[in-house]
Amino acid sequence: MARLIAAGLSNRNIAATLHISLDTVKRHGSRVKAKLSLRSTAAIACLSLPVHLIPGRAESSLPATLTTTEHIILLQLCGGASSKHIARVTGASPRTVDKHRENLLRKCKVRSTRQLVALMALEYAKSGIVEARSNA
């Protein structure tokens, strides 16, 4: 199931693929998130990313129109941060962070934060800078 989450599939698509109920998918997603000590299930896609992301390297294959703030928010999303947490870190309001997230989704042509994070992980993998991490 973690692989399906990492691929950016929605809970509904995972349920259909595995032929299980939506509630079961949500419950298992929560357990995986808790076992890995993550803030969100979307962060599962970024488990293979380096601990210290290198700004400007892997993002180069993402849309060139991303602003510096959008890059910062994208990296925070990969860490599983919520809008409120990102707002505290950046000094912006949660609504502003949500607007930046909407812009990221639009610019990257994806429909959910989970797909956005999966795209980021894929771009890092394509760039060849993903470091091997021990499985937890």
pLDDT at 71 over 60: yes
Exposed, middle or buried by CB within 10 Å (0-12, 13-18, 19+), for 97?
A: buried
Domains and CATH numbers, the chain: 2-45 (no CATH), 48-127 (3.40.50.2300)
pLDDT at 15 over 60: yes
- The residue-averaged pLDDT of 8-14 equals 87
pLDDT at 57 over 50: no
Q: What is the mean pLDDT of the chain?
A: 79
pLDDT at 80 over 50: yes
Span 18-49, pLDDT tens digits: 999 999 998 988 888 888 777 777 777 776 66
Q: Which of the four pLDDT bands, split at 50, 70 and 90, describes residue 134?
A: very low
- The residue-averaged pLDDT of 115-128 equals 77
Q: Which of the four pLDDT bands, split at 50, 70 and 90, describes residue 97?
A: very high
* pLDDT of res. 105: 92
The full 3-state SS of the chain, as one line of letters, equals CHHHHHCCCCHHHHHHHHCCCHHHHHHHHHHHHHHCCCCCHHHHHHCCCCCCCCCCCHHHHCCCCCCHHHHHHHHHHHCCCCHHHHHHHHCCCHHHHHHHHHHHHHHHCCCCHHHHHHHHHHHHHHHCCCCCCCCC
